[in-house]
Amino acid sequence: MTAEASQDRLFDPRSADPRPLHERLKQHLRWQILSGQIKERVEGEIELAARLGISRGPIQQAIGALVNEGLLTRRRGRGTFVNQDRVDKYYLEISSFTGTMKAQGHAPTVRIIAFYREDPAPELAAALKLEPGEEVFVYKRSVLLEDVPVVMTVSTIPTKRVPDLLISEADSSLYAILRARGSTPIHVNDVYEAAGADAADAEALGIAEGTPLLQVTRLARDQTGDPIEHAVSRFVFGKLTVDISPLSEFLDQQFQSGHMSQSLWHHQVGHQYVVPKRGKSPP
């Protein structure tokens, strides 16, 4: 199987997916661009049509939409290329917590607590879609702002997805490490809830047991659609913001046609990090 065929194994033009073919192809190409599978020049329309077994029309629509998004740029006489600047900005929007802190102008430092592999508990194995006997990497660390710990995170990553994973540079974003190994987080689901600090939190964050914390439980999926990380983060300092806006015109049309049953409103939840003041107790 060629590299191109391997990359396209997730795209089936004959799928029962009700979305238009050009829309499905656009999403597929976006995943390939953001995951680094398409690094520079996009394959020509004729070659792409021949390999996928579809006409050039949907390909032209999909590529045109990605050009309008800014992920691709056309160069006269040379072809269509990835706009790396836009790709980099995208990762300020979908990022690890450390990457988001940097995007907000902070200079976080990471303190590695532990990194090892183990057999996951049944509930965790189910969340990560693991078979019996498959292991996970466990990465525990605290993140500091101005030398004050603000969050403690425990991430679990399936070893089968990144068997060579090694975390030794404490100031690196986990998602940057995963992306460099060909597994890019594309979609994350975060659950926010209140929690009380346990003994591990107290030691990592320098607080008393029982201190109120904000807990964020995350399940991240990469370009294949499979889970790549389960993480539990406990924050001492921070503020949540929620931005509510209408869904895109396309999703609105799909809803009205009966293809979707979700809300017509998109809720964007953001976590704003607050630099702690020295000598002050958390609010």
Q: What pLDDT, in 10s, does the model give residues 166-201?
A: 887 766 678 878 887 878 787 888 898 999 999 999
Of 45, 56, 51, nearest to 21 by C-alpha is 56
Pair 236, 213: CB distance under 8 Å: yes
Burial 113-141, CB ≥16 within 10 A → b, else e: beeeeeebeeeebeebebeeeebbbbbbb
Given a cut of 50, whether residue 3 has pLDDT beyond it is: no
Given a cut of 50, whether residue 254 has pLDDT beyond it is: no
Q: Give residues with Cβ within 8 angstroms of 179, minimum separation 6.
A: 35, 36, 185
d(CA 62, CA 20): 10
Mean pLDDT, rounded, of the chain:
80
Of 22, 15, 12, nearest to 66 by C-alpha is 22
Q: Which pLDDT score is estimated for 247?
A: 45
With pLDDT > 90 as the criterion, what percentage of the chain qualifies?
A: 38
Per-residue DSSP letters for 74-128?
EETTTEEEE-HHHHHHHTTTS--HHHHHHHTT---EEEEEEEEEEPPPHHHHHHT
Helix pair 56-69, 45-52: axis angle to 10 deg = 120
Q: Which pLDDT score is estimated for 81?
A: 94
Strands 136-145 and 72-75: unpaired
Q: Identify each DSSP E strand in 159-202 by its residue range.
A: 185-196
Show the domains of the chain with their CATH numbers: 3-84 (1.10.10.10), 91-272 (3.40.1410.10)
pLDDT band at 251 (very low <50, low <70, confident <90, very high): very low
Q: Which pLDDT score is estimated for 280?
A: 47
Of 208, 214, 217, 218, nearest to 239 by C-alpha is 214
pLDDT, tens digit (0-9, with 9 covering 90-100), for 206-227: 999 999 999 999 999 887 788 9
* CA 248 from centroid of its chain's CA atoms: 21
pLDDT band at 154 (very low <50, low <70, confident <90, very high): very high
Strand, helix or coil for residue 71: coil
Of 205, 173, 194, nearest to 97 by C-alpha is 173
Lowest mean pLDDT among 189-193, 231-235, 239-243: 239-243
Helix pair 21-34, 56-69: axis angle to 10 deg = 50
- Secondary structure of 215-278 in HEC code, one letter for each residue: EEEEEEEECCCCEEEEEEEEECCCEEEEEEEECCHHHHHHHHCCCCCCCCEEEEEEEECCCCCC
Higher pLDDT, 88 or 248: 88
Strand, helix or coil for residue 208: coil
Higher pLDDT, 176 or 252: 176
Given a cut of 50, whether residue 105 has pLDDT beyond it is: yes
